[in-house]
Amino acid sequence: SLPTQIGRHAYRIVQEALTNARKHAPGSRVLTELDGAPGEGLRIRVSNPVLPGTPPGPGGRLGLVGLAERTRMAGGTITHEMQDGRFILDVRLPWEA
């Protein structure tokens, strides 16, 4: 089973990613994927459509800053990109064997 501390970080990361998706792509379907195993790590991938003309909203990009800080606290890595009209957030957290 996933260590408690990493599970808490994963929960908060998904929570923030979904909040960001709701803010930047309201009403859109969001794809959330979690995968991993002990010794391999936990991968969290959240993606949503990029809606043209949607303003970034108050505090634009601060959500990503918070996600990066939480990910680093957990000893993980974070990347994000726009690909094929979707914003993709990819987080990897350590999961000891």
For residue 70, pLDDT beyond 70: yes
* Alpha helices, H only, the chain: 4-24, 62-73
Phi-psi sector, 59: left (phi>0), alpha (psi -120 to 50), beta = left
The residues near 69 (Cβ < 8 Å, ≥ 6 apart) are none
CA-wise closest residue to 18 among 29, 6, 9, 7: 29
Q: What is the pLDDT of residue 55?
A: 65
Q: Give the confidence band of 52 by pLDDT, cuts at 50, 70, 90.
A: confident
Contact 4, 87 (CB under 8 A): no
For residue 37, pLDDT beyond 90: yes
